[in-house]
Amino acid sequence: MAAFSEDFLALRVFVSCLGLVGNVFLIISILRIKLSRVKSFELFLLGLASANLEEIIIINIYETIILQTSSVPIGTWSCRVLKFLTVFGEITSILFTVLISIFRYQKLSDVSKRANLPIYLDNLGSACMMSGVCVALSSLFSLPIFVMNLQGSAGNVTRISSGCPPDFFQCNKNNCPILNRLYKYVFMLVCHLVPLIIVTVTGCLILTVLLSQRKKVIPIDSVSGSRQIGKTSKDTRFQRSTVAVLAAMGLFQVDWTFYLILQLTLSQTDVPFWAEIEFFISTSYTSISPYVYGVGNNLFSLKNFLKK
């Protein structure tokens, strides 16, 4: 059992380092872009990477230092603040993913009728406003952490001797406060299930648009050679970026579908390594997605990192 726990710890360190490096590189790559050239999509990626980075750092502090070091007493206020920051980062990452999926679908839909006309989110001011809305909603849905009952289960006393329960949703089945139970299901519905449905629907719509566009043939003689080459190059980059968005959305769907299934079918007290399983589920998307977005949008190219 000890060797199994050590393997979990080694894997945790690897996943955390992978996520830290990927999100830091993505943030640096976007910040190197001149302010006048920053577009809404890069702004959304910056928000996503920042939320991912914050979540990975805080969840490691909360899970590793506090929960694993049960002999060190932690104040209730410190416990709530750390859990608030963990949940805040998780929700912010989810909401920015939803925003990216909606933005990309709007860019693809009715492109033949809209031509080069911008959409609402193309405006940098609108993009900043929507990013602020994501942050505000994340704060709103994280605030109940400060009034939650910190009651843990009887079967997991050693894990909560530090003063922090492994899961704020967790409580005794025979005496579970209504607030804990209400927050759990409202949180899962609004912050996990609804975003999952939105990302799934927009992903299907994006695939439908891409498949319909492949059937259309543009006559080469209708435009000049240089203009056609430039347009083709731009379309190729956009298509590659869209494929990256779809790949990240697929990872998001698998990740949070699995999480919801586990939350609704299993009890944390019945699974010895529930905290570790929850850690890998919540950090797999935040650790892998920056590489998908970075490579797909040519932000992780060697050329960009060698630029001065």
DSSP character at residue 190: I
Mean pLDDT estimate for the chain: 78
The model's pTM? 0.85
Q: Burial, 83: exposed, middle or buried (Cβ in 10 Å; 0-12, 13-18, 19+)?
A: buried
User: How would residue 108 be classed by pLDDT, with cut points 50, 70 and 90?
Assistant: confident
Tens digit of each residue's pLDDT (9 = 90 or more) over 21-56: 999 999 998 888 766 677 888 999 999 999 999 999
Question: How would you class 261 by CB atoms within 10 Å of its CB: exposed for 0-12, middle for 13-18, buried for 19 or more?
Answer: exposed
Q: What is the pLDDT of residues 117-167, one digit of tens each?
A: 778 888 888 999 999 999 999 999 999 888 877 654 444 444 444 556 656
pLDDT over 60 at 72, yes or no: no
- CA end-to-end span of the chain, whole Å? 50
Q: Which domains does the chain have, with CATH numbers?
A: 12-214+226-306 (1.20.1070.10)
> Which amino acid would we find at residue 250?
G
